[in-house]
Structure 1
Amino acid sequence: MRLLTLRLENGTGTTAVRQDGDTLTQIDGFPDVGALLKDAHWATIAQAASGATYPAEGADLAAVVPSPGKIICVGHNYRNHIKEMGREVPSHPTLFAKYQESLIGPNDDLALPQESDTVDWEAELAVVIGKTGRRIPEGQAAEHIAGYAVLNDVSMRDYQFRTIQWLQGKTWEKSTPFGPALVTQDEFTPGPLMTSAVDGEVQQSTPTSDLVFTPEFLVSYISTIITLNPGDVIATGTPGGVGHAQDPKRYLQEGQVLVTTIEGLGQLTNRVVKEA
């Protein structure tokens, strides 16, 4: 299944929907995909939904899970990115957090803050949790994954590297496109190509299977530290090709369009707009 969060007309709120080809079907009673996942029977409910329908083309989509309880990000998880940043392959995952205020929809404008001129792209595969768990064995981790989505961990590099802690460069408001859909595990397995492009020029292009730490390992590892709940998000890291590692360095500029794609999951298309 493909599950999305649709913004309703005239600012009347949002609703969870199921996509079937060119049609979106409302899942009544659930304002977004995150709320849906909190019901233990979410998959059955979504499959059986028969609410109002909307055209998929031109739909105004919010971040697929607009208000996750946790957004846990993984650094240094693709070998080609580790190499370009001059680091060693880690023995344990490098973890940091984002907050929900950073999320935007798959086609929303990306806010270019007035305080930073080193705004960089980072295409990522996002894991969305569908079942609560603590200390989840790696062999059972797939049971706790609702599905996958596309995310771009847009980073303000000057703020990120002010200290050895990265959070201040990673969670700027309205900077993280996320969506367009949650695609369930029966329709997607990590492996297909992930790309990012700026104004049509491809910057990153790496299979999503080229991870140091797999989604299942990350679910197990992170759940050792803290309980994972439905709707929580794990961003699994970015591959090589970021602007900060290029010579000369390249960063996002006002008016550019950042496109992030994972084959089988969908595409994020975000115009860079100077924040008021």
Structure 2
Amino acid sequence: MRSSNPVFSRRGFSRDNGHASFNAAPQAGAATAGTNPFAQGTAANPYATNPYAQGTQPGAPAPARTDAMTIDDVVTRTAMTLGLVVVAAAIAWWTMPVDEGNLGTAYGVAIGAALIGFVLSLVNSFKRRPSPPLILLYAAFEGVFLGIVSNIVSVYVAPGAAMQAVLGTMAVFAGVLIAYRTGLIRVTRRFYGFVMAAAIGFMLLMMVNLLFAVFGGGDGLGFRSGTLGIIFGIVAIVIGACILALNFKQVEDGIAYGAPREEAWLAAFGLTVTLVWIYIEMLRLVAILSGDD
């Protein structure tokens, strides 16, 4: 199963028929084709070669890795990326005035930071190897964007909105993690297909809404304000929570099947992207609900 997050889908963080793809020896009697793109090559699956298994003969089991990714690696890298997001957001909050005289400048800086962060996210997603400096740069620019936008919302729309959005994001993260670990959420092929379809459909709809807003003014089709805005905000958060479950699954598979330690940066990047998504939608939802009071 491929992750909905492109940073995972290219790296072998995949499971088909229940078999993960890093150094995973096929079970006895199990089909080798289509189950493990990083397993050793066989006649049935000539494309199944493991780029991380050095010096082995085709068909031989992969040797145990001495530099395999661990949960501590993932936690440490994720703490670094999220910590940088928070630090950059705090610096932007306190150093970028959002009063009437500087509001346009603040918006400009926020949009610029968002665009740079988006470009960096694409670069990180399609690089052959994880690049810690580029991942940290993404976190820094994303933090600048979040800090300015959060400050604007807190000043002009809903005081305390940023803290509410942070608490909401933490609650979603904790809830999904508990549900995943206890088996309430099972990441199956059907679950993956549903999440992918929902995410793609949501993004296409938001792009159409943005085009109407750009060329027609206002809020476009009204999907981001009022009652419709509340509904679509909740839908976006639910989709983000489902993607978070997919991320947990990919990290679990990577650890269980011997992903190289450098892939912990990739896992941290994927989790950061998803949490930023959830936070932005939480902030938007708080702003809409406060405006309706």
**TM-score class, shorter:** under 0.3
Using structure 1 for the length normalisation, give the TM-score.
0.26
Using structure 2 for the length normalisation, give the TM-score.
0.25
